[in-house]
Amino acid sequence: MERINLNQDIKPLSEFRANATACIKQVHDTKRPIVITQHGKSSAVLMDVHEYEALLEKLELLQDIRLAEAQISNDQGIPHDQVKNEILAKLKQ
């Protein structure tokens, strides 16, 4: 996902309503999200669906890494050599 361009990617709700199709095209073409404001404050974010899915995948990976780090710090991990030997044994079957 591209970083937001403050000059182009912040739109008031009224402008979004009037130009929804153009805003969706902009998000699709630039791969940058648009921040929609209401009463001068950020209210919502419009993103390309593929960029959103990629963001969720990255978040899930980071959560998996965080869980693995917590398990390792709590001595819940399995030593590399043990896992390697178990996998090689299963492959030989």
Residue 7 has pLDDT above 90, yes or no: no
Give the 3-state secondary structure of residue 11. strand
pLDDT of residue 93: 84
What's the pLDDT band for 13 if we cut at 50, 70, 90? very high
DSSP string spanning 29-78?
Answer: HH---EEEEETTEEEEEE--HHHHHHHHHHHHHHHHHHHHHHHHHTT---
Encode pLDDT of 24-34 as tens digits: 999 999 999 99
Model confidence over 43-91: pLDDT tens digits? 999 999 999 999 999 999 999 999 999 999 999 988 899 999 999 999 9
For 83, the token pair is 């896992």
Domains of the chain: 10-47 (3.40.1620)
